[in-house]
Structure 1
């Protein structure tokens, strides 16, 4: 998956979580893949408006929902700090692709964590 947005390419996704040993790197790697795949989807088929962006972010959020079981299996969870960082990453992506008006709550509205 090729991403051309320089701001995204220079960004270290989930960095604070990687720095905390409570969060397993192998699960964080999957989270990073979800976020990078979202960026690739936005570049491949740029959303025409916020509604279309939200459709893409909801799919990515549902992938994070599925990761919760893997966090739990590794004696971890998507707790408050993780929730905030993941949501900030969705906001970063929206901003990086010109959707500065995206509502943070809407970007991850289908989250179960």
Structure 2
């Protein structure tokens, strides 16, 4: 089974921008890593992977209040950073899900 490279960089733009508290970006990354772990653990259908992506996106949605409380928010840079990270993961594993579909549950 294919694995993600140990040096894979998650959420690069968010980590490089002090507007996003690192502790919250770390929480966000954990939700993405859970999807990677799911994909790496076993062969799954596209539908099962999409279900995990939906759970991830809903969990990220739930972090918004924490970002607001820290004078930050999930806005354009965050949205693009999340999308780029998820898209890179989908491409790495050769999963045929368009990025807009992958994060369809987002409200950011």
- 2:41 and 2:69 map into 1 onto residues whose CA distance is 34
Map of 1:76-87 to 2, 5 A cutoff? 76-87=72-83
Shift of 1:104: 1.0
- 1:81 and 1:92 map into 2 onto residues whose CA distance is 16
- 2:25 and 2:57 map into 1 onto residues whose CA distance is 14
In structure 2, the gaps of 5 or more residues are none
- 1:105 and 1:19 map into 2 onto residues whose CA distance is 24
Aligned counterpart, 1:74? 70
- Structure 1 stretches of 4+ moved >6 Å: none
Q: Does 1:14 align with 2:21?
A: no
- 2:36 and 2:70 map into 1 onto residues whose CA distance is 27
**Deviation readout 1:12-52 (Å, 9 max, x if unpaired):** 1011111111000010010111111110011123322x222
In structure 1, the gaps of 5 or more residues are none
How many pairs align? 107
TM-score normalised per structure 1: 0.87
Aligned counterpart, 1:106? 101
Question: Which has the higher relative contact order, 1 or 2, with Cα contacts under 8 A spaced 6 or more apart?
Answer: 2
